[in-house]
Every structure is written in structure tokens, then in C-alpha cells.
Amino acid sequence: MDTKYSIHYDETQKVVIEKYSDKVSLNDVISSWEKMIKSKSLPGEARGLVLDCGNAHLDFPASEHQKIVEYYRKNIEFFGKYKIGIVANTPHNIVIVMLVAQADNRYYLRPFTSLKAAMEWAGC
């Protein structure tokens, strides 16, 4: 399988950026998070996570958003530590992100249409 995401740490904003590209399945998203959690390599001073789907298509039905919510709940000790900004600029992607954001108030997640805005919010 080719890599559909890359990870970068912005030291200035103290934000970890996970950038997705092409068609991204639900499994692609969850497996990338699994690797991130298991690696325990996120900098201790990181304040936020930005998932950039600006050049990607979340290739699963919006009704599948509940699987993301369940994954976040299962890993709340990890996701609860960060502000999570998700860049989504297609109606389909925005709907998925909004459904996930509204499903649980134990994680702090918000949709954005630009990487710059997501990074500024997640880093403060």
C-alpha cells in the first residue's frame, strides 16, 4: 500500500500535522492514528494535532463517522490531551468532520477550511 499521509511537527506552533492525500479510506485514517499512538514519538510540548484533508477525499460514507467517534472514545487518554483541527474543504469531508466534532465533548475537535487557521487554533 502506498503512503497516503505524512507527519510533520511544527515547532513554532507546537502542532503535529498529519497531511492526507488522494482517496483515504476509514482504515487508512485509523491505521495512521494507531501508528502515531503506538510510536509514542509525539513531542511532549505538542499542544495540537492537525489532520489536513485539504487534498484528500475521505472515501467512506458519512454514516461511518461513528467508527471514528468510537476510536476517539477508546483512545480518549491520547486524543483528550490535544486540540484537534481537521482541514476539510469539500462538502463530503466537512460533513464527516462536523459529525465527529459534535458526537462527544471529551475531545476538542473543530473543522477548518485552511491549514493556517487550523494550526493557529490548535497551537494556542
Model pLDDT, residue 39 = 84
CATH number of the domain enclosing 44:
3.30.750.24
User: For the ranges 4-8, 23-27, 100-104, which has the lowest average pLDDT?
Assistant: 4-8
Q: Does the pLDDT value for residue 46 go beyond 70?
A: yes
Number of structural domains (the chain) is: 1
| Chain segment 64-85, per-residue pLDDT in tens | 999 999 999 999 999 999 999 9
CB 107 within 8 A of CB 84: yes
Rg (CA), the chain: 13
Q: Which three cell numbers stand for residue 11?
A: 515547532
DSSP state of 114: S
17 contacts 9 by C-beta, under 8 angstroms? yes
Nearest to 42 by CA among 81, 72, 73: 81
**In which band, very low, low, confident or very high, does the pLDDT at 1 lie, cut at 50, 70 and 90?**
very low
Residue 19 is part of which domain span? 5-123
Cα separation, 117 vs 124, whole angstroms: 11
Residue 3 has pLDDT above 70, yes or no: no
Query: For the whole prediction, is pTM greater than 0.75?
Result: yes
